[in-house]
Amino acid sequence: MNDRVFVISVLIGVMSLIGSVTFYKYNELQALKSNIESAIVKGIDPVAVRCAYSDQRDVVCVAYGAGLQSPNQPKTK
């Protein structure tokens, strides 16, 4: 009986952890979606908004940052 209670309580804890992480990630994704939509309306580059929320290992944002020219560089034709 004691083993069953322990297994059930661990299972409930793991399921709660999975549910809370899923809820957090879903809300984070919805906030990002809302910010990108408002950036499009305001005329801001949506990739820049996406990259503001990403980590350093995001390949799209690394390529986006590398493709931007700094203001001190002359523009090429």
Domain that holds residue 16: 2-67
pLDDT in tens, 6-53: 999 999 999 999 999 999 999 999 999 999 999 999 999 888 888 888
Q: Which pLDDT belongs to residue 72?
A: 65
| 77 part of a folded domain | no
| 72 part of a folded domain | no
The angle that helices 59-67 and 46-53 make with each other, rounded to 10 degrees, is: 130
Q: Which pLDDT belongs to residue 77?
A: 58
Q: How far apart are CA 44 and CA 41, in angstroms?
A: 8
Q: Which pLDDT belongs to residue 75?
A: 62
* Domain total of the chain: 1
| 16 part of a folded domain | yes
| 76 part of a folded domain | no
Q: Which pLDDT belongs to residue 53?
A: 83
| 31 part of a folded domain | yes
Q: What is the residue type of 49?
A: V
| 75 part of a folded domain | no
